[in-house]
Amino acid sequence: YMAVFSAHVFYGLIPLGVAIGLASMVSLVCLGMSLNSNSPVLAGVALSAALGTPFVLSSGEGSISALTMYLILVFLTAGYVFWKRRWSLTHAFTGLLGFAVLFLATEMVPEEASVATRGVLQAGIVVLWLVFALLPLVPDR
């Protein structure tokens, strides 16, 4: 994460999209390691880093729709991890952090935002509630 952050923010060696892609790959590797080693703490760190990646790397310019779609992917990944392992504390922590991140995203929406942008943001809110509020109610496999 630090190498990607430094290469993008301090040195401008890689563009934002590449930096987010590389940081997301690090998160996915960490998630894979957490599932293999049965480590909910590592999963929490990886999901937290994934949720914070766009905010840490971005300069404030960018698409709210792209940010929300990225967050939806992270929420769905967190849902998969919960479905696979049932790590309730990790899921609750990720859900609270996801709520905070999505709240920040909604605060960044300008008043003149398009209907499509608002629709994508509402889809993000629906996915957030489905993954973190309703998925835990589904019985174990």
- Torsional sign, CA 36, 97, 75, 127: positive
Block residue for tokens 């905070």 = 100
Nearest to 102 by CA among 84, 85, 124: 124
Task: Render the chain in DSSP notation, one character per residue.
Answer: -HHHHIIIIIT--S-HHHHHHHHHHHHHHHHHHHHHHT-HHHHHHHHHHHHHHHHHH--S-S-HHHHHHHHHHHHHHHHHHHHHH--HHHHHHHHHHHHHHHHHHHHT--TT--HHHHHHHHHHHHHHHIIIIIGGGSPP-
* pLDDT values of the chain reduced to their tens digit, one per residue, 141 residues: 999 999 999 999 999 889 999 999 999 999 999 999 999 999 999 999 999 998 888 877 778 899 999 999 999 999 999 999 999 999 999 999 999 999 988 888 888 889 999 999 999 999 999 999 999 999 886
